[in-house]
Amino acid sequence: MLKIFQRLFDVNLKEVEVLQPVVEEVNSFEPETARLSDEELAAKTPEFKLRLLKGSLLDELLPEALAVIRESIKRTVNQRAFDVQLMAAITLHKGRVAEQKTGEGKTLSAALAAYVNALLGKGVHIVTTNDYLARIGTGWYGRALTKLGLKVACIIHEEAFIYDPKFFLQDEVDNRLAHLSPISRKEAYEADVTYGTNNEFGFDYLRDNLVPDVLEMVQRGHHYAIVDEVDSILIDEARTPLIISAPDTEPTKKYYEFARLISSLSPDTDYTSDEKTKTVNLSEHGIRKLEKILNVDNLYEKDFETIHHVENALKARVHFLRDRDYVIKDNQVVIVDEFTGRLMFGRRWSEGLHQAVEAKENVPI
């Protein structure tokens, strides 16, 4: 009796039952698809695109298109998508969340859904958690997608690549990365499928909104995206906003002076700090001490900027720790991603905080 009730109220089971007929239809195309030559298999892509132009809906092509990309992946990297991976791909195609355990083939499911949605010619973004996975996805499943006539690219920090079977990097140890040919960022976005991290996609979007001429924009319209580790990217990392700051106009020596100045302040009497919000606030005692050191009657009235700089210098000392929040590499402060632990080259804290950390570490600002 208990199993009957569990079955009645199991939402996941109901979803699987809805997906099962589509999976069976995909499987029904497999024998026919397997008999196709490589040329005939590749010809399916322009055939699908023509059918779409004539009015067919993408959902109508879905089962056969999934069978085609499954066969291409099988031929290129020797992986045959199982029914559960097809279910995940169908779910992603519908714009919904699919949960798969480690080792269940998330990247394979993403490649399946990416092919189907790339048929519309509007571009597909696959959002990964780091640059390495973006490159691996491009170099591995790019083989199957390229075999079917699509262009597959990736964007990473200050670089962009396209999968090119004719290109070969002799010094590359990992064969999955050996066919990644350097291209411009704009060319990467013009590919049918583009892999990259959420930070790269986000910052390119912000930069595109700052260019004086639309011809300088690198992204095209946003059509369809698949987000890996969606809970991490849309919940955890969403707490950290992407900000593009204008170059700082403050004299750099000021930051070094404030870094030295705060050594005279005591956490017991001169300021309070909050580890959770990473904030520091000067106490009345601390303000009076600063006014005496700086020979100023009233900091709030005459030199409010000083309070901002002092609090930034204190934040840099108290809350931003070397080898935890950042590392020093090539005499530069490089932020460490708090979720992945990876170095975030090119990222800077805003509102003078990054300069405060640089001054604390006595590196060039």
H or E stretch at 284: helix 284-294
Please check whether residue 313 is in contact with residue 261, taking contact to mean a CB–CB distance below 8 angstroms: yes
Same structural domain for residues 256 and 357?
yes
- The top-scoring range by mean pLDDT among 92-96, 275-279, 297-301 is 92-96
pLDDT at 241 over 90: no
Instruction: Identify the pLDDT of residue 344.
Output: 80
Domain containing residue 258: CATH number: 3.90.1440.10
Q: What is the mean pLDDT of residues 320-326?
A: 93
DSSP state of 245: P
**What is the average per-residue pLDDT within 153-169?**
94
- Where among 119, 143, 174 does a domain terminate? 119
Q: Are residues 50 and 67 in the same domain?
A: yes
> Is 22 a domain residue?
yes
Per-residue model confidence (pLDDT) at position 231: 84
Q: Is residue 16 part of a domain?
A: yes
Query: Is the per-residue pLDDT at 147 higher than 70?
Result: yes
Q: With cut-offs at 50, 70 and 90, classify the pLDDT of residue 252.
A: confident
Is the pLDDT score of 223 beyond 90? Answer: yes
In angstroms, the CA 177 to CA 338 distance is 27
Same domain (yes/no): 256, 183: no
Tell whether 163 and 224 lie within a shared domain. Answer: yes
- Asked if 214 and 282 sit in the same domain, the reply is no
**Same domain for 135 and 176:** yes
Averaged pLDDT for residues 75-87: 95
Q: How confident is the model at residue 248 (pLDDT cuts 50, 70, 90)?
A: low
**177 domain-assigned:** yes
Residue 303 lies in a domain: yes
Per-residue pLDDT band at 6 (split at 50, 70, 90): low
Q: Say whether both 198 and 303 belong to one domain.
A: no
CA gap 300, 279 in Å, rounded? 19
- Model confidence at 5, pLDDT cuts 50, 70, 90, reads very low
- Tell me if 363 sits within 8 A of 328, measured CB to CB: yes
What confidence category does residue 87 fall into, taking pLDDT thresholds of 50, 70 and 90?
very high
Domain CATH code at residue 13? 3.40.50.300
The more confident residue out of 160 and 338 is: 160
Domain boundaries, position 278: 252-361
Q: Which of 226, 244, 262 is the last residue of a domain?
A: 244
The CA distance from 217 to 126, in Å, is 20
At 39, list the tokens: 């040329």
Please give the tally of structural domains in the chain.
3
pLDDT (average), residues 179-189: 97
Phi, psi torsion values for 244, nearest 5 degrees: -105, 120
pLDDT at 119 over 90: yes
Specify if 1 maps to a domain.
no
Which whole number is the average pLDDT over 350-359? 90
- Of 244, 277, 309, the residue at which a domain comes to its end is 244
The average confidence (pLDDT) of the chain is 90
Claim to verify: residue 139 and residue 239 sit in the same structural domain: yes
- pLDDT of 356 reads 93
Is the pLDDT at 200 greater than 50? The verdict is: yes
Question: Would you state the structure tokens that stand for residue 332, as one six-digit string?
Answer: 């530069």
Asked whether the CA dihedral 252, 358, 336, 183 is positive or negative, the reply is positive
Phi, psi of 272 (to 5 degrees): -120, 150
Percent of the chain with pLDDT over 70: 95
Same-domain check for residues 190 and 213: yes
Per-residue pLDDT of 27-73, as tens digits, reads 999 999 999 999 999 999 999 999 999 999 999 999 999 999 999 99
Q: Are 130 and 342 in contact (CB under 8 A)?
A: yes
Residue 4 pLDDT > 70: no
Q: Is the pLDDT of residue 110 over 90?
A: yes
Is the model's pLDDT at 112 over the cut of 60? yes
Question: How many Å apart are CA 89 and CA 96, to the nearest integer?
Answer: 10
Lowest mean pLDDT among 58-62, 134-138, 273-277: 273-277
124 has a pLDDT exceeding 90: yes
Q: Are 85 and 15 found together in one domain?
A: yes
